[in-house]
Chain A
Amino acid sequence: MSNTAKFKLSTLAVLAAALMSSVTAAQAAVTVLGWPGGSEETALRAVVDDYNGQANVADADKVELLFFSRDGFYDKLQADMAAGSDAFDLNLLATYAIGRYAPYMEPVDLGPDAVTTFGDSVLKTMQFDGKQYGVPTDLSLHFMYYRKDLVAALMADDAAKAKYAEISEKYLGKKLEPKDPNDWTWDDWAATALYFSKDVNAESPVRYGTVLQMKNLLFNMMVFQSLPRSYGGDWMDASGAITVDSDAYRTGLEMYKMLYDAGASPRDSLSYEYAETNAAFGSGQTATALQWNAAAGELTDPEKSPAVADNVGIVAPPAGPDGRADHIHGLGLGLNKNAKNKEGAIKFLKWMATESAALDYAKNGGSPALAPAVVAKIAAERPDLVQLGQFADAYGYVMTGGTSAKALSVYELQAKEFTGYWSGQQTLDEALARTKAGMEELLK
């Protein structure tokens, strides 16, 4: 008796809850799920306000924004999309995750404006299987940050040059001379990093020559892989064979380990990612850092980084035998397959691809990569966007397979195996063999 009564009670409670929540669900608008917290959010909010203010946008097509947590964002998004959620019409998309989300999304036609605004290479960051899945909003790549004052002092001092040559011969096997960072090869950078490290050179004015992001984290592999890339490395060749065990990857992995073991990077580098790297470089105790372009604002702001802001130099990542390489990926917005208001959503996407909207987005703090003719119109306000566009154009690359459905899993795998090598838990051969086997499984 009481058994069934309890059962009825709990069923009732569940039903009541179900009723309560479904009443509030009906709203007519275009819901956009954006990237929370950073400059991307500020910029998106501003352009959405402008869009909603336009007379020709019907009430039913007005855009509402949704942001959920930044932590676990992609895990949550994946659960939502796989379960067929219609809580948002447009959602955030990233180059390295397009393949993962494409099954739950619909390709879109952005109209003729898109090519003139962004250019083909940037539009490609939002393509998968030859189809356009979204409008690009922000572009990310890496800068080599360095301390202008330190490098200038090194280049002006003969005794320092001698010491530099001695160190480079000991660690790199060849006598090198200090060079302007714009002309750095990876060897020059490594020699500089060693020279400015107290463990290598007791007279160094700062504690470390560089700060490497070596935490077991997929984003750190994106920072790292430009080094092997400039030696000709790639995930796979044209025939689809995995080539991660190439000499290029060996050279890159060994260089990181050599620098870490020599004490050229902080001793806890194996737990460093974006935030730790900024803090290390911003403290004024580190001479160089390979870091995301997004850090430029913070590192050059005297309010936020008083110790270094006036002396931060920014160049593209150093060159290898194959020239320079700079990992690029884009953030953008794409269409959810289960969207409730597809027409309104596509209308907004097309508007986002117009020149005026893209400029609006840039003015409000976003980092879009724009075609040269378009970026010229905002060069005075956002000189950093010019540099961003130039680097992306000249050195930008995406690894073969880097947009596939399993790209994120490949990065995860590399992060685990490569950090295992750097921390001395396995040999280089073991790490590369395991990575290769895993990638063959993932990318078959």
Chain B
Amino acid sequence: MNSIKNLDWKLLNTPLVVFLLLFLGFPVIVNLYYSLSEVSFQTLRAPELTGFGNYLTVLTDPAFWQASWFSLRFGVVTAVAECALGLCLAIFLAPLIEKHSALMAPLMLPLMVAPAMVGLMYRLVLHEFVGPVPYYLYEWFGNSPSFLNAESAFWTLSVVETLQWTPFAFLLFYMAYEAIPDEVRQAAQIDGAGPFQRLFYIDLPLMAPTLIIAAFIRFIDGFRVFDNVYTLTGSGPGGSTTSLPIYIYEAFFKQGAIGKAVAASVVLFLASFSVLFGLNWLSGRRKGATK
């Protein structure tokens, strides 16, 4: 009985696994080979196997670590900001949106615009002479700060990213909030729980899995940010807004250092894989303990 069910589960996974093997199997093998080779665009079909030199180059490149640090910081800052804002909005506006579901539409709108385009538009929006933001700052306060120099660019980019992706967190939280049956809240109310007690002892614990998932997705997306940063500041003065994907893209296409770019990706993959694997293992152990 159990072994039959086991076969069922395997069958359910099969299409996905086959698809990935078909479409990523060959690229993964080629890329692993490239990462161990001296290879350029001219020698794509005849890479020269050289060992772990590319990995050494990447790991000793200060620019790689600078990019990793930017990505990490950007991922954490934007994920926290988006989830905090999204959660407040979802819980506070839930009664309103329940009654008027059309209100959801304007809050989802920012998600629809291509991030690359959003980055491009901010080049206009923040421009000192033709952008509305500096224009109104000059009108009202007689001055306007620098938005995109080496120090301020990180925060400007964080705001740009947060404004666009808070709706993502909001949407997930709103769904999770609405999925909590009213009876549960009513029962708590009858037991004498005030609104804040209900929030902290009923709503938030029940929404916890979604909170974790949303924060996780937003962190990954912030970590691998590319489009909007690339169109707005590029790699930034002195490389100060180079995220890890921008570092890899530039190594690949601009420098033609294919081996280095792929090696950096492998390092990134292994690092994030071990983090995920570790988290999984931890949560598995915790589950085992509570059972």
Q: Do chains A and B touch in the complex (CB under 8 A)?
A: yes
Q: Of the candidates A6, A279, A419, which one forms a contact with B237 in the assembled complex, judged by CB atoms under 8 Å apart?
A: A419
Q: Is A152 an interface residue (CB 8 A)?
A: no
In angstroms, Cα B146 to Cα A82, docked, is: 41
A-contact bits for B108-124, CB 8 A (1 contact / 0 none):
00000000000000010
By the criterion CB–CB under 8 Å, are A271 and B129 in contact? no
CB within 8 Å for A423 and B237 given contacts A268-B128, A279-B129? yes
Q: Of the candidates B146, B233, B253, which one forms a contact with A267 in the assembled complex, judged by CB atoms under 8 Å apart?
A: B146
- Size bin of chain A's contact surface: 35 or more
By the criterion CB–CB under 8 Å, are B234 and A216 in contact? yes
By the criterion CB–CB under 8 Å, are A412 and B250 in contact? yes
By a CB distance below 8 angstroms, the chain B residues around A188 are none
Q: Of the candidates A78, A216, A266, which one forms a contact with B238 in the assembled complex, judged by CB atoms under 8 Å apart?
A: A216
By a CB distance below 8 angstroms, the chain B residues around A100 are 256
What is the distance, in angstroms, from A303's C-beta to the closest C-beta of chain B?
A: 16
A-contact bits for B32-56, CB 8 A (1 contact / 0 none):
0000000001101000000000000
Q: Of the candidates B18, B129, B145, which one forms a contact with A285 in the assembled complex, judged by CB atoms under 8 Å apart?
A: B129
In angstroms, Cα B77 to Cα A386, docked, is: 54
In angstroms, Cα B127 to Cα A10, docked, is: 50
Q: Is B141 an interface residue (CB 8 A)?
A: no
By the criterion CB–CB under 8 Å, are A279 and B254 in contact? no
By the criterion CB–CB under 8 Å, are B41 and A6 in contact? no
Interface residue stretch chosen among B90-98, B148-156, B167-175 = B148-156
A-contacting residues, B176-192, CB 8 Å: none
By a CB distance below 8 angstroms, the chain A residues around B128 are 266-268, 280
Q: Is B147 an interface residue (CB 8 A)?
A: yes
Q: Is A215 an interface residue (CB 8 A)?
A: yes
Q: Is B267 an interface residue (CB 8 A)?
A: no
Q: Is B130 an interface residue (CB 8 A)?
A: yes
Q: Of the candidates A7, A103, A217, A424, which one forms a contact with B42 in the assembled complex, judged by CB atoms under 8 Å apart?
A: A103
Q: Is A255 an interface residue (CB 8 A)?
A: no
By the criterion CB–CB under 8 Å, are A6 and B18 in contact? yes
CB within 8 Å for A423 and B238 given contacts A103-B42, A268-B148, A271-B148? yes
CB within 8 Å for A3 and B14 given contacts A412-B254, A423-B238? yes
By the criterion CB–CB under 8 Å, are A420 and B254 in contact? no
By the criterion CB–CB under 8 Å, are B237 and A270 in contact? yes
B-contact bits for A318-337, CB 8 A (1 contact / 0 none):
00000000000000000000
By a CB distance below 8 angstroms, the chain A residues around B239 are 216, 416, 420
By the criterion CB–CB under 8 Å, are B240 and A423 in contact? yes
In angstroms, Cα B41 to Cα A79, docked, is: 8
CB within 8 Å for A82 and B238 given contacts A2-B11, A279-B129, A423-B150? no
In angstroms, Cα B240 to Cα A420, docked, is: 8
In angstroms, Cα B135 to Cα A283, docked, is: 12
By the criterion CB–CB under 8 Å, are B129 and A283 in contact? yes
What is the distance, in angstroms, from A201's C-beta to the closest C-beta of chain B?
A: 17
By the criterion CB–CB under 8 Å, are A216 and B255 in contact? no
CB within 8 Å for A416 and B235 given contacts A268-B148, A283-B130? yes
Q: Of the candidates B18, B129, B149, B253, which one forms a contact with A423 in the assembled complex, judged by CB atoms under 8 Å apart?
A: B149
In angstroms, Cα B128 to Cα A268, docked, is: 8
When C-beta atoms are compared, the residue in chain A nearest to B129 turns out to be: A283
CB within 8 Å for A409 and B253 given contacts A216-B237, A271-B148? no
What is the distance, in angstroms, from A118's C-beta to the closest C-beta of chain B?
A: 30
Q: Of the candidates B149, B153, B238, which one forms a contact with A426 in the assembled complex, judged by CB atoms under 8 Å apart?
A: B238
Q: Of the candidates B22, B146, B237, which one forms a contact with A214 in the assembled complex, judged by CB atoms under 8 Å apart?
A: B237
By a CB distance below 8 angstroms, the chain A residues around B145 are 267
In angstroms, Cα B249 to Cα A79, docked, is: 13
When C-beta atoms are compared, the residue in chain A nearest to B249 turns out to be: A75
Q: Of the candidates B42, B123, B238, which one forms a contact with A416 in the assembled complex, judged by CB atoms under 8 Å apart?
A: B238
By a CB distance below 8 angstroms, the chain A residues around B146 are 267-268
By a CB distance below 8 angstroms, the chain B residues around A421 are 238
In angstroms, Cα B238 to Cα A41, docked, is: 34
By the criterion CB–CB under 8 Å, are B150 and A424 in contact? yes
In angstroms, Cα B232 to Cα A15, docked, is: 41
Most buried by A among B11, B128, B147, B253: B128
By a CB distance below 8 angstroms, the chain A residues around B76 are none
Q: Is A115 an interface residue (CB 8 A)?
A: no
Q: Is B288 an interface residue (CB 8 A)?
A: no
B-contacting residues, A388-418, CB 8 Å: 408-409, 412, 416-417
Q: Is A25 an interface residue (CB 8 A)?
A: no
By the criterion CB–CB under 8 Å, are B44 and A275 in contact? no
Q: Is B15 an interface residue (CB 8 A)?
A: yes
B-contact bits for A139-178, CB 8 A (1 contact / 0 none):
0000000000000000000000000000000000000000
Q: Is B126 an interface residue (CB 8 A)?
A: yes
In angstroms, Cα B128 to Cα A283, docked, is: 10
By a CB distance below 8 angstroms, the chain B residues around A420 are 237-240
A-contact bits for B56-74, CB 8 A (1 contact / 0 none):
0000000000000000000
What is the distance, in angstroms, from A1's C-beta to the closest C-beta of chain B?
A: 9
CB within 8 Å for A2 and B234 given contacts A268-B148, A424-B150? no
What is the distance, in angstroms, from A349's C-beta to the closest C-beta of chain B?
A: 24
By the criterion CB–CB under 8 Å, are B149 and A268 in contact? yes
Q: Is B196 an interface residue (CB 8 A)?
A: no
By a CB distance below 8 angstroms, the chain B residues around A267 are 128, 145-146, 149
By a CB distance below 8 angstroms, the chain B residues around A419 are 236-238
By the criterion CB–CB under 8 Å, are A271 and B153 in contact? yes
What is the distance, in angstroms, from B252's C-beta to the closest C-beta of chain A?
A: 9
In angstroms, Cα B14 to Cα A100, docked, is: 44
10 sampled A-B residue pairs with Cβ under 8 A: A3-B11, A10-B22, A75-B253, A100-B256, A216-B234, A266-B129, A271-B237, A283-B129, A409-B255, A412-B255
Instruction: Enumerate the 9 nearest inter-chain pairs by beta-carbon distance, A residue then B residue, closest first.
Output: A420-B238, A423-B237, A283-B129, A271-B148, A423-B150, A267-B146, A82-B41, A419-B237, A75-B253
| Known A3-B18, A276-B123; further 16 A-B contacts with Cβ < 8 A | A10-B18, A78-B253, A214-B237, A215-B237, A216-B236, A216-B239, A268-B149, A270-B149, A270-B237, A271-B233, A279-B130, A409-B254, A412-B250, A412-B255, A420-B237, A423-B150
Give me the interface of B with A, judged by CB distance under 8 Å.
11, 14-15, 18-19, 22, 41-42, 44, 123, 126-130, 145-150, 153, 232-240, 250, 253-256
